Amino acid sequence: MEDKADVRVPVLVVGGSLVGLSTSLFLSRHGVRHLLVEKHSGTSLHPRGRGINARTMELFRTAGAEHAIRRAASVLEGNQGILQATSLIDSEQHNWLIKEIDPSGQLSRFSPTGWCLCSQNNIEPVLAAQSGAMCGDIRFSTELMNFDQDETGVTAVVKDRETGEHTTVRADFLIAADGPRSPVREQLRIPQTGNGELFHNVSVTFRSRRLPEVLGDLRFIVCYLMRPGADGALLPVDNGTQWVFHAPWHPEDGETLEDFTDERCVEQIRAAIGVPDLDVVIGGKAPWHAAERVAEQYSVGRVFLAGDAAHEMSPTGAFGSNTGIQDAHNLAWKIAAVLDGSAGMELLDTYEAERLPVAIATSERASARSAEHSHPGYAPPPTMGGGPGSGVLTTAMGYCYPRGAVVGGDLGRPIIPEKLRLKGDTGTRAPHMWLSHSGERVSSLDLYERSFVLLSGSGTPWRAAAEQVAGDLSVRLDAYAIGSGPDADLVPQGGADWAEVHGMSAEGAVLVRPDGFVAWRSEGAVPDPRAALRGALSTVLRRA
């Protein structure tokens, strides 16, 4: 079958929605040629998931996409908070579940960027354009028909849905970002665990010219409208005429999609908002299902799952799409390292070891948050409880990898801690600090994308050791000395002490992976820095 391939690429990506396009972008940043196929004719037309957390924005920042995404999101940049209301027209019935995303401004201590509200139909074209201009061959209206794999690669047949033409693709790896009903996952017969279906909604887009008058200066990310018999969730698309209403749907009671006629939707939206004669023009309807499911495996051979194909989560907190994008970022650098020969194939086993526990912990947190917010249509089981647990920022940014492509991880550390701690511990996202680099202000996180990075203090032997190890192993390893001495590459701003920020002595060093996670650390000096670093990096990369 290999000899009959029409197209040969290192990676085939199946699914061109938010996670698939992010996968394409991250692969492109590593210079990995790939083909992405998506059965729909283009990017999303429906304003679906739109909350992009700070960790994901960090990834888009290093990938060069942050500014374009923020431009696409500018219409909603002033919206904050989650509102619960029995009536929108009576302010005394308003209850802010979250008034502001970052009221104390603590996020700036941890990150060089912040969260962003950008509808999926706005962000996907940005990702497609940026990846397509680099290494991504993105083909819409193209469907995966079947695939098979052997010891050296994957052979797939894809169909152009417009012409009917079939193409045989030979790839080293296949990444399935093909959604919650993933045909790839089904073919691999990978089971799922979790609480299953949680609730169902019909997402209704509508236009209303009068609704901005009703809201006045009121701005929110989402408003849960709790009027008995007419509950639902209201989301702005442009703070003007375009809106989305999530209407609870109960198929378990025999309710069908056909029951959601335009007339019914208009009446429910009017009743939920509290304005009986509100002008409402229905644009479209899309069913969606909230569920808590995680695949028991993230890969079989050379085929990997990412995003909803690997995990489904309740929408509260926007954890699902963000977790999926972070899956893609984790996997992209590892595939790139295997393809360029700097890592052994066993490095790819660490994708599941790291990301599956994160998905389990995050999906449980998402379901709990839906219960806390009394999400319309969700009746949580009586067993769910136990208080609020980790906050959104900690869940989004504070998770860790005790096992995987790390050396010396804390196996007893919870995957998601109760409080956010980013002090350079092995397996955690490296700390953010502002630095001066050749006269330019950069975040330490800006250093991590296409190579391993070793940070150490000026006047120590670590940088020289890193240069030797890069030659020993033929890997890209960038080393920076931080401080104010003559050999310093980076100068901390604001009087910060890099060693204190990273929780070590001035004689120590920290090795950071391309995805910004700490792979290994030496809290102080060692007799042979070259040997210590070479051993650590060889272990992380699964070198023989």
Gap between the Cα atoms of 427 and 516, Å rounded: 10
Question: What number of residues does the chain have?
Answer: 544
Nearby residues of 164 by Cβ (< 8 Å), 6 or more positions away: none
β-bridge mates for residue 142, sequence order: 160
Written as tens digits, the pLDDT of the chain (544 aa) is: 446 889 999 999 999 999 999 999 999 999 999 999 999 999 988 777 789 999 999 999 999 999 999 999 999 988 988 999 988 888 888 999 888 887 777 899 999 999 999 989 899 999 999 998 898 999 999 999 999 999 999 999 999 999 999 999 999 999 999 999 999 999 999 999 998 888 899 999 999 999 999 999 999 999 999 988 889 999 999 999 999 999 999 999 999 999 999 999 999 999 999 999 999 999 999 898 889 999 999 999 999 999 999 999 988 788 999 999 999 999 999 999 999 999 999 999 999 999 999 999 999 988 887 777 667 766 666 554 444 456 888 999 999 999 999 999 988 999 999 999 999 999 999 999 999 998 899 999 999 999 999 999 999 999 999 999 999 999 999 999 999 888 999 999 998 999 999 999 999 999 999 999 999 999 999 999 999 999 999 999 999 7
Residue keyed to tokens 């067993």: 383
pTM of the predicted model as reported, rounded to 2 decimal places: 0.94
Strands 82-85 and 51-52: unpaired
Strands 452-457 and 477-482: parallel
Kindly report the CATH number that applies to the domain delimited by 193-291: 3.30.9.10
Gap between the Cα atoms of 131 and 516, Å rounded: 21
Instruction: Reply yes or no on domain 2-77+114-192+292-386 having CATH 3.50.50.60.
Output: yes
308 contacts 185 by C-beta, under 8 angstroms: no
Gap between the Cα atoms of 63 and 358, Å rounded: 23
The model's pLDDT over 292-302, given as tens digits with 9 standing for 90+, comes to: 999 999 999 99
Where are the CATH 3.40.30.120 domain residues in the chain? Answer: 434-540
Gap between the Cα atoms of 276 and 269, Å rounded: 9
Q: Which long-range contacts (CB under 8 A, 24 or more apart) does 468-472 make?
A: 468/530, 469/530, 469/533, 469/534, 469/537, 472/530, 472/534
Where are the CATH 3.30.9.10 domain residues in the chain? Answer: 193-291
Instruction: Reply yes or no on domain 434-540 having CATH 3.40.640.10.
Output: no
